[in-house]
Amino acid sequence: MLTITLPDGSVRSYPDGSTALQVAESISRGLAQNALTAKWNGQSVELHEALSGSGSLVFFTWDQPEGKTAFWHSSAHVLAQSILHFYPDALLTIGPAIENGFYYDVDFRGAAFGEGDFEKLDKQMLEFAREKSAFSKRSVTKAEALTAYAENPFKTELIENLEDGSITFCDHADFTDLCRGGHIPNTGLIKAIKIMKVAGAYWRANDKNPQLTRVYGVSFPKASMLEEHLALLEEAKKRDHRKLGRELELFTFSQKVGQGLPLWLPKGAALRERLENFLKAAQKKAGYLPVITPHIASKELYVLSGHYEKYGKDSFQPILTPEEGEEYLLKPMNCPHHCEIYKSQPRSYRDLPLRFAEFGTVYRYEQSGELHGLTRVRGFTQDDAHLFCTPDQLLDEFLKVIDLVLYIFKTLDFPSFKAQVSLRDPDNPSKYIGSAENWEKAEKAILEAAKIKELPHVIEYGEAAFYGPKLDFMVRDAIGREWQLGTIQVDYNLPERFELEYKGADNEMHRPVMIHRAPFGSMERFVAVLIEHCGGNFPLWLTPEQAVVLPVSERFNEYAQQVVSLLEMSDIRALVDDRNEKVGRKIRDAEMRKVPFMLVVGEKEQESQTVSVRRHGEGDLGAESPAEFAERVRAEVAQRLSAL
């Protein structure tokens, strides 16, 4: 008898040897049609694998990451099948699912392969998919596997590292691959499949190894989804923060300065400063105390904090001084510094909570291939703060941090967001530091705070760090992409390592709880997300230029300058486009630069001491005096910033 517990807790019995697909069919037709893969007792199983004994069974559809992974990994088999169809001498290596599709690393053995070959492969892949071939996994011995791949040194190397008895092949149609499993039932579920790009890749990511060709693809269960995906990529290209950052003169990079080290240009620096001031003002209201700490610190500090042991080898190496034995590290984290600030004087329960905030710049080594615009850099500024409180104050502190984050999302126009709450793995309590009682308190506080604030959230068991549970924020941008931003994280480890204490009401010494929190994450990443979210059309309060005055001819340059002076007195960021160009051209250029307001001035406006107001993307708003216009801007900005 096969006994199955489903995620809703219900228990069902089936004849031994029933497959997951048969179980799905017995539950509902929809589930049987939509299930792509399943987990049996936490292990991935094929839907038509025979099950026996008792355990838990979970099905995954396209809407879950596990479903997509199975779908895309299976599609990689179809890609490999098609490659061998055209290039029978090519050597296959590995073909995993990735974030947005899949790839296969191939040694084409000298055969030319490039963009011109995509189309014939696209057609062939779809043809193979339509054959509805079932994926089926079978066990082979190590000797059999080595014989099958005698001609392929890459697969041979993989097989040699596997244990005999654990090796499986996957067959579909007349194609076989060495594979652990995790497939959809058959190729017919793939309704759209396309090669996206090729790139070079070293075998096992080691540049001493042979170079392979990485063929990237993507596939979908509906043809229309591929169309949508391609349209989204096109839109994402237009919004790419690296492109807009250059066009809007916000930031740049220099090979001489070094990779992954952004240089903020005047407009970008001013925008970033406005963001910082906005957050500083909100934090001040919420009782944060600004602190400042240096960019380097003695290596010993990070040995004590544990960061050196964990990241030391893979990051920037110590800085030496003329003094022998003196070693410093670029700051990878602000937390140890803030712990030392906490320790700078005796603390009592009456001092808590203490909230130290710093826009602290940290440096972490990232491999050059991993660097990407402002989202993956080697030096960045966290909007960091560390809260030190008693275990009983956790809930309150969480509520306040959530308030702050929601205020930021609202002001910056992110209407769609959610949180992920990461808790302990209930089956493995020994891998966490801190008492079970404190963990329970913290986990309860996070869940309760999320509930009280009606924060849409998912709970992930086993995703907590070893030192504490956490809550991460994800926003959905204007074109539907999800970005991870800020985090709130409880920490029992650092207070222990730094022996932080406070005197309680009972006159005994106690250990405070520490919370790390960064609502933006980092200024660099946040600005990148913001640029891509608003496509460079920043909110009025934040945008580099709020208005540009456009004289219709040189005769009105002087009046235009007067208007700018008047606006500057009202703290409006404006300038004159006094180039000797037609006004139509000036308007087009201002639209390109995404300036929110264009103020056209000519004979009529000069006489009546007005400006003709045009709004970016909206068009004419009519004539206003500079004072009326200033009031319009002031009111709009005030309304946006008033929500706290």
Neighbours of 518 (CB within 10 A): 24
Please choose, out of 115-123, 163-171, 296-304, 391-399, the segment that lies near Zn ion by the rule CB under 5 A.
163-171
Give the nearest distance from C-beta 518 to Zn ion in angstroms.
8
Catalytic residue among 400, 516, 533, 573: 516
- Rounded-to-integer distance, Cα 564 and Cα 562, Å: 5
Of residues 313 through 342, those in contact with Zn ion by CB under 5 A are 335
Please choose, out of 285-293, 347-355, 459-467, 511-519, the segment that lies near Zn ion by the rule CB under 5 A.
511-519
Q: Give me the torsion for CA of 345, 384, 263, 374, rounded to 10°.
A: 160
397/477 with CB nearer Zn ion: 397
Give the nearest distance from C-beta 517 to Zn ion in angstroms.
8
Sequence-separated contacts (24+) of 424-433 with Cβ below 8 Å: 424/461, 424/462, 424/464, 424/469, 425/461, 425/462, 425/464, 426/461, 428/462, 431/466, 432/464, 432/466, 432/467, 433/466, 433/467, 433/492, 433/493, 433/496
Give the nearest distance from C-beta 489 to Zn ion in angstroms.
7
Please choose, out of 147-155, 164-172, 248-256, 626-634, the segment that lies near Zn ion by the rule CB under 5 A.
164-172
68/516 with CB nearer Zn ion: 516
Q: Is position 385 an interface residue for Zn ion (rule: CB under 5 A)? A: no
Please choose, out of 162-170, 261-269, 359-367, 591-599, the segment that lies near Zn ion by the rule CB under 5 A.
162-170
Per-residue tokens: 107 = 């040694």
Residues in a beta bridge with 491: 514
- Rounded-to-integer distance, Cα 335 and Cα 355, Å: 12
360/391 with CB nearer Zn ion: 360
H-assigned helices in 137-186 = 142-148, 153-160
- DSSP, collapsed to helix, strand or coil, labels residue 613 as strand
Told to judge if 355 belongs to the known catalytic residues of this protein, a careful annotator would answer: no
Told to judge if 573 belongs to the known catalytic residues of this protein, a careful annotator would answer: no
Per-residue tokens: 277 = 């001031």
Fill in the DSSP letter of residue 453. T
Q: Which of 90, 91, 170, 446 binds Zn ion (CB under 5 A)?
A: 170
Q: Is position 129 an interface residue for Zn ion (rule: CB under 5 A)? A: no
- Rounded-to-integer distance, Cα 562 and Cα 556, Å: 10
267/516 with CB nearer Zn ion: 516
Catalytic residue among 81, 124, 382, 546: 382
Non-local CB neighbours of 538 within 8 Å, separated by 6+ positions: 271, 530, 544, 594
CA proximity to 513, closest of 499, 498, 497, 495: 495
- Rounded-to-integer distance, Cα 251 and Cα 373, Å: 10
Please choose, out of 308-316, 346-354, 510-518, 617-625, the segment that lies near Zn ion by the rule CB under 5 A.
510-518
Told to judge if 389 belongs to the known catalytic residues of this protein, a careful annotator would answer: no
Catalytic residue among 239, 386, 400, 573: 386
Told to judge if 238 belongs to the known catalytic residues of this protein, a careful annotator would answer: no
- Rounded-to-integer distance, Cα 526 and Cα 250, Å: 14
Give the nearest distance from C-beta 335 to Zn ion in angstroms.
3
- Rounded-to-integer distance, Cα 517 and Cα 192, Å: 42
User: Does residue 71 contact residue 190 with C-beta atoms inside 8 Å?
Assistant: yes
229/516 with CB nearer Zn ion: 516
Told to judge if 382 belongs to the known catalytic residues of this protein, a careful annotator would answer: yes
**Per-state percent for the chain, helix, strand, coil, to nearest 5:** 40, 25, 35
CA proximity to 7, closest of 50, 49, 66: 66
Residues in a beta bridge with 38: 45, 59
Q: Is position 516 an interface residue for Zn ion (rule: CB under 5 A)? A: yes
Give the nearest distance from C-beta 246 to Zn ion in angstroms.
32
Non-local CB neighbours of 421 within 8 Å, separated by 6+ positions: 446, 447, 450, 457, 458, 459, 460, 469, 470, 471
CA proximity to 148, closest of 130, 175, 126: 175
Please choose, out of 99-107, 165-173, 249-257, 419-427, the segment that lies near Zn ion by the rule CB under 5 A.
165-173
Give the nearest distance from C-beta 339 to Zn ion in angstroms.
9
Give the nearest distance from C-beta 447 to Zn ion in angstroms.
22
Of residues 171 through 230, those in contact with Zn ion by CB under 5 A are 179
Catalytic residue among 384, 472, 477, 577: 384
User: Taking CB under 5 A as the rule, which mask of x and - marks residues 573-602 in contact with Zn ion?
Assistant: ------------------------------
Number of residues this chain uses to bind Zn ion (CB under 5 A): 4
Give the nearest distance from C-beta 42 to Zn ion in angstroms.
19
Q: Which strands, in side-by-side order, build the sheet including 136-139? A: 136-139, 168-172, 175-178
CA 267, 270, 273: angle at the middle one, nearest 5?
A: 150
Give the nearest distance from C-beta 334 to Zn ion in angstroms.
6
- Rounded-to-integer distance, Cα 104 and Cα 25, Å: 33
476/497 with CB nearer Zn ion: 497
Give the nearest distance from C-beta 493 to Zn ion in angstroms.
11
36/563 with CB nearer Zn ion: 36
170/354 with CB nearer Zn ion: 170
- Rounded-to-integer distance, Cα 596 and Cα 614, Å: 8
Q: Contact positions toward Zn ion, by CB under 5 A?
A: 170, 179, 335, 516
Question: Which of the residues are catalytic?
Answer: 335, 364, 382, 384, 386, 470, 516
